[in-house]
Amino acid sequence: MTELTALLDDSSDPAATFCLACAAPVGHLPHCPANDPQATTLLVEQLPGELTRSWMVSGLRHNLTPARRARYTAQMANLHWVRPTPGLKLPMSVGLLVGEVLGQWGIAAHVAEIGYGGMVPATDCGCRDWWRCRCDFPNHPFRHAHPDLWPDYGLLGFNVRGQGSWLRMWLLDTGIGAVYIAEDHTPAPPAPLPISRACFMHWCDTCPVTFTAGQPATCQCPHHLTGAIT
């Protein structure tokens, strides 16, 4: 992936007109994702602990600048995480959107946790060229727009278990749908076999496996073998 240095530019001139991704004054450079209808990723960040964060093209209206991405990063740590257990009660709007995401994306069986409760300010400016929109920049005239055009949207997280990694998906609840903002990838060692689904999902405290002295364990989860059930 070609590096787009403009994505790291924290300048805030509201009168500038260059593309916020590739810095082209007119149109877009050949390697700009604006020219690629198949592009999915804007920027990839390497974070501590082998975590890789990818900012998605689908969320470009909200994540093109360092300041916008910082708003999401600040809220990611504030989400309340719950397991998707039967009978789970979520706030109505959150629950409806979660149900739609799990059903349409086909990830219900792989979601270990759902996070909600974060709120992120956004703009409802009506700009058609999101690659150049600067309505949230300091001193931009839109800063004085009606408060209704500065909504706070809910941030949702889905912690998804894969065979060799964890995927944390970050979505924005706009009230009429979900916008895919970013995703985090964290490598995970292969699960020991045999292992219960509860332990595979890191719900070790709910593992139904019982242990009999002298009998081989039917769940090889390290938490059982060390006694460190979490």
Regarding whether 63 and 102 lie in a shared domain, the answer is yes
83 and 123 together in one domain? yes
Sign of CA dihedral 204, 205, 207, 212: positive
One domain for residues 171 and 220: no
Cα distance between residue 42 and residue 7, in whole Å: 8
In this structure, the answer to whether residues 213 and 155 fall within a common structural domain is no
Tell me, yes or no, whether 73 and 162 share the same domain. Answer: yes
**Shared domain check, 129 and 209:** no
Q: Taking all residues of the chain, what is their mean pLDDT, rounded to a whole number?
A: 89
Query: What digits encode the pLDDT tens for the residues 37-73?
Result: 999 999 999 998 889 999 999 999 999 999 999 999 9
Straight-line distance from the first to the last Cα atom of the chain, in angstroms, rounded to the nearest whole number: 39
Q: How far apart are CA 106 and CA 135, in angstroms?
A: 36
Q: How far is CA 37 from CA 5, 25, 136, 152, 169, in A?
A: 20, 21, 26, 29, 21
- Within-domain flag for 37: no
Same domain, 103 and 156: yes
- Tell me: do 106 and 150 sit in the same domain: yes
State residue 193's pLDDT score.
86
* Parent domain of 172: 42-187
Rounded to whole angstroms, how far apart are CA atoms 211 and 226?
13
The span from the CA of 136 to the CA of 27, in Å, is: 21
Q: Are 118 and 79 in contact (CB under 8 A)?
A: yes
Amino acid, single-letter form, for residue 111: V
Is residue 88 a part of any domain in this protein? yes
Residues 181 and 218 in one domain: no
Q: How far apart are CA 165 and CA 30, in angstroms?
A: 33
Together in a domain, 207 and 164:
no
20 located within any domain: no
Phi, psi of 24, rounded to the nearest 5 degrees: -65, 130
In a domain, 26, yes or no: no
Q: Are residues 133 and 168 in the same domain?
A: yes
Residue 147 lies in a domain: yes
Domain count, the chain: 2
Cβ proximity of 94 and 212 under 8 Å: no
Higher-pLDDT residue of 20 and 218 is 20
Q: What is the pLDDT of residues 1-48, one digit of tens each?
A: 566 777 887 777 878 889 999 999 999 999 999 999 999 999 999 998
Which pLDDT belongs to residue 226? 59
